[in-house]
Amino acid sequence: MNIFRLTGDLSHLAAIIILLLKIWKTRSCAGISGKSQILFALVFTTRYLDLFSSFISLYNTVMKVIYIMCAYATVYLIYGKFKATYDGNHDTFRVEFLLIPVVLLAVLINHAFAPMEILWTFSIYLESVAILPQLFMISKTGEAETITTHYLFFLGLYRTLYLFNWIWRFYFEGFFDLIAVVAGLVQTILYCDFFYLYITKVLKGKKLSLPA
Amino acid sequence: GDDDVPKDEL
């Protein structure tokens, strides 16, 4: 464990909690892409199947359980409890355009052609593009609630910190996973435009509205 | 493919 991975995980946890609290407190999922949240639930489900087969550390197990529970709770709030506030007209990204290439890539490019390894690879590739429906929805509505931008900031920050974690691990531990690094780079690059708007607008107290 | 890299990351 290193400081980049720990702060990255905590940033990820913060994002997940911020979103869950936003929906719960405002009793509304306006502006939130349910499709992205379903994809995140799928990412955690396919990546954390090893919860039952291998124990790495208490931290690892506890965080995985929290992520999975929060992901499904968020999906439930969006499509169940507060579905009346779900803005389906703007959450129209065709997720099959993400799932099909990700499945193909996971089958073709992986570390080992074994079920758990392919599921892990699928989850890594899917996570790198899972935010697209959310970013697409914001571009369609032309704006985002400030709390939603904080959610996106911490979500984008987490994988950015993981990039530094991988540099650290390569340098100090000789650990290197090309699949995770390339997918993590793609994931972080997708946030660049948002990061720019967040820093130049939201942090200056303005509302995030598009076109910039 | 390469041997399985340890999956200790979240």
For the stretch A156-188, pLDDT in tens is 999 999 999 999 999 999 999 999 999 999 999
pLDDT band at A3 (very low <50, low <70, confident <90, very high): very high
The three-point CA angle A98-A100-A104 to 5° equals 120
ipTM metric: 0.90
How close B1 gets to chain A, by Cα (Å)? 5
Indicate if the pLDDT at residue B2 is higher than 50. Answer: no
Q: What is the mean pLDDT of residues A81-95?
A: 98
> Are the beta carbons of B1 and A9 separated by less than 8 Å?
no
Domain chopping of chain A, boundaries: 3-202
Indicate if the pLDDT at residue B1 is higher than 90. Answer: no
Mean pLDDT of chain A: 97
State pLDDT tens for residues A53-73: 899 999 999 999 999 999 999
In A, which residues are within 8 Å of B1 by CB distance?
110-113, 117
* Selected residues 1-10 of chain B with any CB under 8 Å from a CB in chain A: 1-5, 7-10
Q: What is the mean pLDDT of residues A75-104?
A: 98
Nearest by CB to A117, from B4, B9, B10: name it.
Answer: B4
